[in-house]
Amino acid sequence: MSNADIAVIGIGVMGSQLALQLEERGSSVALFDEFSPQAAQQLIDKEEGKRFVTAQGLEDMLALLAKPRKILLMIKAGSPVDDYIEKLLPLLDPGDVIIDGGNSHYEDTERRCKRTQEAGVHFVGTGISGGEEGARYGASLMPGGAEEAWPIVKKELTSLSAFAYDETACCHWMGAGGAGHFVKMVHNGIEYGCMQLLGEAFHVAKHILQKDHETIYRAFTSWKDGPMAGFLMEITADILGKKDAETGEPLVEVILDRAGQKGTGRWTCQLALEHGISVPTIEAAVTTRIISSAPQQRRTLHAHLPTLSLPTEGLPSLDMDALQNALYGATFCTYIQGFHILQRASEEHHWQLPFADIARIWTGGCIIRARMLEDFRALYEDTQTPDNLLGSALFRDIWQQTAASWRQVLLHTTAQGVPTPAFSSALAFVDAFRQPVLPTQLIQAQRDYFGAHQYERTDKEGRFHTHWLAGNTLTSDPV
């Protein structure tokens, strides 16, 4: 076979599964793995009859491709991507396309777009969500980069996608430069927040409501068919139903509570701060994973610091229905925080992100797919929806339905010393935005006191500075 439609470089777990799906959906595929050359041949031997070819070197592999050539990099993010770009550029022609399908930082993608443009080669950074299963049977794809490349790669990338609830492909062009990888990064940040909330809900059911494992498993199983329906809810129920083969105990109970992270959640928090957007629930999720990485410290401090709990008599009663209700409200807030980052970034980078389509393609294939995303698509299709999604009529209804349960959860967890940072930060996020006056009134006065940073008044226009030390002039330089 000659003139393969696309090349996949990096035949690891994700690369091999994407290659299989590309072939099954109509593309002939050239396989190449410089560091594990046997991987490509093993896949060909295993999948006999597939339209796969391989080659010993890059030049030979490129010679197998139809023009304009399309190369999908499924390799480790960071310097390996830059290394491959530099290897490929001398061998490519103007109009060829390099696609980075890894979890690259969006600023790296912006830089690579400029670098390849100098050679007339197009660069596409595409977020791919769905894990190994999504790579094999349909993922959610968020491509962005050189606009001229989209008509060239649309067929192949769309063929890799799952289908949304309305049967449309979960693949949509995000915009220029690093737009695609930025959207994928925010997707992962939302993922962190949602996972943390589910972990906390399990913890509350176990340690506050004192439910046995079987009861919790049955409750979570029922929740996956309700308003919390989605992939993470489904896998959480599946996890709770799994028994450890060695002990016969629920497997989750023998897993060390040290959660790893690869960086996209941290990037989301960093960039939210840089863009002036509040994402406290995502930040709480990242921080909790950091704390979880020190199990010995936590066990030592558990013995050192008593709980000093408060009596719970007289508190409103809490049950599993109220916990589900609170989980729904807090999860919806986590998605709001993610979309707020996307809105600000789109404005600052002039990306014109397609928010309704982002919500749509996230309803299938990806890790954060959930029924509530259909509500977000409707919000963005409504031209009257405010920039701050907390101000929408939809969220007002959700708030009225969930606030009491949410507060009940936190009354009990605070009184009994059970940490629920995602639940509490999500509630504080709403409460802060709904306050006409915040404690920052005093903070600005403090800033003016020690730094002459000035302040605005509530009763007149302009900026003002007070000499707070009677009879003295502050030595700080004015702004």
Question: What are the pLDDT digits (tens) for 126-140?
Answer: 999 999 999 999 999
DSSP state string for 121-172: -EEEEEEEESHHHHHHH-BEEEEEE-GGGHHHHHHHHHHTB-B-TTS-BSB-
Respond yes or no on whether the N-terminal peptide bond of residue 80 is cis (omega within 30° of 0). no
- The CA distance from 87 to 76, in Å, is 16
List CB contacts of 340: < 8 A, sequence separation 6 or more: 277, 278, 279, 388, 389
Which CATH number applies to 6-173? 3.40.50.720
Residue with the two structure tokens 């003016």: 448
The DSSP 8-state label assigned to residue 392 in this structure reads: S
With 0-12 / 13-18 / 19 or more C-beta atoms within 10 angstroms meaning exposed / middle / buried, residue 52 is buried
Residue with the two structure tokens 């909790």: 288
The DSSP 8-state label assigned to residue 69 in this structure reads: P
List CB contacts of 37: < 8 A, sequence separation 6 or more: 56
SS3 29: strand
- Closest of 182, 170, 181 to residue 357, by C-alpha: 170
- The CA distance from 366 to 371, in Å, is 12
Q: Tens digit of pLDDT for each residue in 167-180?
A: 999 999 999 999 99
Strand partners, 464: 455
- Number of C-alpha atoms within 13 angstroms, CB side, residue 239? 14
Which run of H or of E encompasses 99? strand 97-100
The domain 185-434 is placed in CATH, from the list 1.10.1040.10, 2.40.30.10, 3.40.109.10, 1.10.630.10, at 1.10.1040.10
Residue 472 has a pLDDT of 54
Q: Six-digit token pair at 173? A: 């062009």
Determine which of 258-267, 289-298, 375-384, 442-451 has the lowest per-residue pLDDT on average.
258-267
Rounded to whole angstroms, the maximal C-alpha distance in the chain is 90
Active site residues: 184, 191
Task: Check: CB of residue 267 under 8 Å from CB of residue 105.
Answer: yes
Q: Tens digit of pLDDT for each residue in 27-81?
A: 999 999 988 888 888 898 888 889 999 988 899 999 999 999 999 999 999 999 9
Q: Tens digit of pLDDT for each residue in 275-318?
A: 999 999 999 999 999 999 999 999 999 999 999 999 999 999 99
Residue 320 has a pLDDT of 98
Architecture of domain 439-475: Up-down Bundle (1.20)
User: Chain-wide mean pLDDT for the chain?
Assistant: 94
Using pLDDT thresholds of 50, 70 and 90, give the confidence band for residue 471: low
Which run of H or of E encompasses 404? helix 393-416
- The CA distance from 362 to 380, in Å, is 14
DSSP state string for 293-342: T-HHHHHHHHHHS---PPP-TTSPP--HHHHHHHHHHHHHHHHHHHHHHH
Residue 86 has a pLDDT of 96
List CB contacts of 234: < 8 A, sequence separation 6 or more: 224
Q: Tens digit of pLDDT for each residue in 430-470?
A: 999 999 999 999 999 999 999 999 999 998 898 999 888 86
Residue 478 reports pLDDT greater than 90: no
Task: Check: CB of residue 61 under 8 Å from CB of residue 40.
Answer: no
Task: Check: CB of residue 406 under 8 Å from CB of residue 326.
Answer: yes
The residues spanned by each domain of the chain are 6-173, 185-434, 439-475
Question: CATH topology of 6-173 equal to that of 439-475?
Answer: no
Using a cut of 0.75, tell me whether the model's pTM lies above it. Answer: yes
Q: What is the CA radius of gyration of the chain?
A: 26
List CB contacts of 416: < 8 A, sequence separation 6 or more: 207, 208, 307, 309, 310, 312
